[in-house]
Amino acid sequence: MPLTIGVDVGTQGSKAVVYNTRNNQVISRGAYSYDILKTKVPGRAEQHPSLWIEGGFAAIKAALKEVDRDEIRAIGISGQQHGFVPLDEQGEVIRNAKLWCDVESAEEAKHLSEQWGYNLVPGFTASKILWLKNNEPENFAKLRHVLLPHDYINHYLTGRYAMECGDASGMGIWDTSNRCFSESRMQSIDDNLHSYLPELIGPNEVFGKLKAEVAKELGLSEDVVVAPGSGDNQMSALGAGAVTEGTWVISLGTSGTLFGVSNRPIEDMSGGIAPFCDATGSWMPLLCTMNCTLVTEEARKTFGMDHEAITQAAEQEEAGCEGVNFLPYLTGERTPNWPSSYGALTGLRPGNLRPGLLYRAALEGATYSLLNGMDMLKGYGVTAKELRIVGGGSKNRLWRRIIADAFQLPLRFPTEPESAALGAALQAAAVHEGVPVADFVQSHSPPLADEVMQPNPDEAEKYSAAFRRHQQYGKTLFDSK
């Protein structure tokens, strides 16, 4: 039975799945946890790329423990987006990679935004490249290759330098309509930047095959095909089966994301909607917030309650939380572009400081930040017919209900918890078989739970009023910062 491996290399750890292409099932899994490097520098979030190799290989080996390795045909990599991996002429890492959640380059992002007439958020790679040039010129002088996290792993596996459009479109120097890098944006950072970027390959191409030493370490054949891979959001779309217009995905993780396939490019000059390409050859407009499960966990831990107890308490509270809004910007925010914002509770009255109410307010606050993205997308003529909910927060039954009623859309629930790793495995299978990725995913539809959660129209106005407050208070507090 031909098998493929999908690996998701994230900020907090790596996950791997082994996928059976014949019966469309994940047959084994592996995982390895790690963390961001400790620092006292405000806004800094870094990891050394060797950690991704260590974590990714450990996850792969765990997933392969009871698998016939001779049956492995291909591997696909999903990676955290926007990270800046600087390599020298020999392909050696120059310094730690700056991650998607690193906002140390806020000044560089502001400078580039003014030049481009486009609101570049500091999470994007472009501002990090300019940060290196401005703050560590000795390291910038060594720079010869710019890669993203999943590109670096592909390079480690095969020895090849290349990018695909999905992850590349999250760098901030992308020409969305023409699906290529913008010459003018690259030049505004550095005249030589174009020479540091690798070739672009298509979504259905073979990236390469495993190097001999890598194949030996993993116990795999050197004939194993490496797929192009992509960013974690693009891979999650594949793993959730969202490859046609109208099906949108919400991912509830450390960051919150809302994304879906579009057959035309969406270019939002405010920077609120990321102008991404997907992993099939189409486009994938996306909204990303920096504060999602971080906020709900902060509320839960404050009261020292377990998930079930505090969820039960929150279920006793009404939608709209009696006028209390939790503005969830605990670590600043990317969308809206408020890097200096902070968390705030508004509308407090005597008796409101109840665990259940404040926990529900945190759930609602994180949801409204995502709903703001859907509001923006409607302005571009984008419509959603259903939402597919993934990520760690998707297990919370109350959060599911809040999303259904706030968005007034039906929810479906992919049953594979590691949607990005599954998406990488599906892409690998498609590339190995020579089938377009979108066609393969449609014919091998990822499994969904039988449950379809329908929205309650009676709750719509409560959420609408609370959402308007969320927008109003956020603008009042942070628009001028």
Mean pLDDT of 262-273: 88
Mean pLDDT of 138-157: 98
Q: What would the pLDDT profile of 185-235 be if each residue is shown by its tens digit?
A: 999 999 999 999 999 999 999 999 999 999 999 999 999 999 999 999 999
Verify whether residue 223 is a known catalytic residue.
no
How crowded is residue 281: how many other Cβ atoms within 10 Å of its Cβ?
A: 16
Query: What six digits make up the tokens of 399?
Result: 């959060």
> What angle is formed at CA 433 by the lines to CA 237 and CA 426, rounded to 5 degrees?
20
User: What is the model's pTM?
Assistant: 0.89
Q: What would the pLDDT profile of 44-87 be if each residue is shown by its tens digit?
A: 999 999 999 999 999 999 999 989 999 999 999 999 999 999 99
**Is the pLDDT confidence value at 317 over 60?**
yes
Can you spell out the DSSP letters for 320-345?
Answer: TGGG-EEEE-BTBBTTTTBTT--EEE
pLDDT band of 481, cuts 50, 70, 90: low
pLDDT band of 290, cuts 50, 70, 90: confident
CA atoms within 13 A on the CB side of 439: 8
Mean pLDDT of 301-328: 97
Catalytic residue among 102, 232, 278, 405: 232
User: By C-alpha distance, which of 270, 357, 284, 288 is closest to 320?
Assistant: 357
pLDDT band of 340, cuts 50, 70, 90: confident
Domain 242-413+450-481 in the same topology as domain 3-230 = yes
How crowded is residue 146: how many other Cβ atoms within 10 Å of its Cβ?
A: 23
Q: With 0-12 CB in 10 A as exposed, 13-18 as middle and 19+ as buried, what is 396?
A: buried
What DSSP designation does 453 have?
B
**pLDDT given for residue 423 in this prediction:** 97
**pLDDT given for residue 269 in this prediction:** 84
How crowded is residue 144: how many other Cβ atoms within 10 Å of its Cβ?
A: 16
Task: Determine the Cα–Cα distance for residues 125 and 131; give it in Å rounded to an integer.
Answer: 10
Average model confidence (pLDDT) across the chain: 95
**pLDDT given for residue 1 in this prediction:** 64
**pLDDT given for residue 332 in this prediction:** 86
According to DSSP, the residues that pair with 387 across neighbouring strands are 248, 411
Reported residue count of the chain is 481
List the chain domain ranges: 3-230, 242-413+450-481
Phi, psi of 386 (to 5 degrees): -155, 160
Query: What six digits make up the tokens of 454?
Result: 């329908």
Q: Has domain 3-230 been given CATH number 3.30.420.40?
A: yes
**pLDDT given for residue 116 in this prediction:** 95
**pLDDT given for residue 360 in this prediction:** 98
Options 2.120.10.30, 1.10.1200.10, 3.30.420.40, 3.40.50.920; CATH of 242-413+450-481: 3.30.420.40
What DSSP designation does 283 have?
B
